[in-house]
Structure 1
């Protein structure tokens, strides 16, 4: 026969467990509510693309998709979009692993370049209307400037890598600075280096796991990568601002790739979802983009996997942001 004291203990344990479950549910509901309150597709107008099994891109305005580029639907893998830039005339330049393409918003191809055999191209930026600068992963890896009117490389230099034969792991992102130098995230070397026109390294910082490096207006550099630690560093290599994704577990962020600084001082962080290694759970989908204030407050969340479906997130360009355009120079090339 079960004693009265044992029954009482069992009853108390059950009450404690029920209370714990209720507390967890309430906490989860509060977390879900916090995230949901930040979701607003109309906060920014933007160009959006990501590394995916198909080469799709979208322009969102006033919370609606107003333009889309759908890559070919074929069984053959054609490469992933790692970089996309909208120019001031509305044309879009994008790097897609095995080449670079320039299109207009009628979806007409204006220019296309196929990467040489055994090389990959994941990042490209326009310089004026005639030139583009890009990084060519390969053995050897190179920084090239091409005249897209003549299809001729007008400037080139070799950059170091850790493993010359591991082409896919060399580089993903690079950007010109306001001083006409080139800031390059060495993914396999775990460092960021700044190069002058002649290919001389003029500044560098160790950054294990780095995916992207963005030059800022104040001369500092914004780093982002697999360590899930977004940080702004100055030229003395001191961290002057940072944001650690793991300090904000209520936001389901997977793999950060590119962080950019908006004109309003906020930071936008793209977090990528792998279509190759992960299964998308539409009941609890990952966040694609967050916007963070200088005080580290999350003020915007992009989580759009249905109606509209935007797909994995790698790069987002807020329209009207002057951070990226063809108004750049590299040495005397403008």
Structure 2
């Protein structure tokens, strides 16, 4: 019974119910959407968003943010695309992508954790630098003519019409979730985000945890850049633009608090499916996909406001509970009061 209550209270359950309700509503408006190939397309199209959102979750867990993931993805995609176009091996391209992610993650971690810069401002600056590097690296041209076998792999299905990429991503999300919830080191991310000073006082490696969160976030975005090349088949200087907003929205929609210390990667993965499906669902609803960014922004604003209200109420409730506890401790015991009454 306790497990059922805990499951019902899970924040990611709300996002799952919202996803199912969204699919049911669209299916009721246009029954063609309920075809298995159309439903699976929503999941297949969320592969890159899921990777970026899961990486973003680590940074949000510690109470920070990283808005450079979109440019990180674009730069990695450009580098990997040119390497594969020029005949380099896929293994070498993946290694280079991971190295790019590690370097960017260390730079972001250094700026936020060592220099003490606000994470939003510093990563926004890194985002601008990376965008500039993409233009310098590509000379403003598209990266095209990628190997056919590399592009064709994105259309390979493993279970029914679900792609092998999405199946691998689901397996990765499950493994990460187990590490974060079942290991001591994994629980450090949430602990640091919940109370960084308290975590330091009890001996948790706060600095190391924050640095690792930024590295993981950047590496996930870089791997997303590799898959982006495979799925899209070409790279433009603007590739990855706006992915940071969708990743943040996916995480918050999945139950991760912007204040840190709350949520799970499963919630971010579910949120990624919702955010990546918006443009696809709009078409079945008879609207233009041009509304995608506007709807994404509205969802993000609404969820942030709701999260802020919940956080405020939780803070007020905790203060009220502590006050009641102190008052009850300071009040004289009933037996003592009775004795005083008898003496009088």
With the length of structure 1 as denominator, give the TM-score of the two structures. 0.21
Q: Using CA pairs below 8 Å that are at least 6 residues apart, which structure has the higher relative contact order?
A: 2
Structure with the bigger percentage of strand: 1
TM-score, normalised by the number of residues in structure 2? 0.20
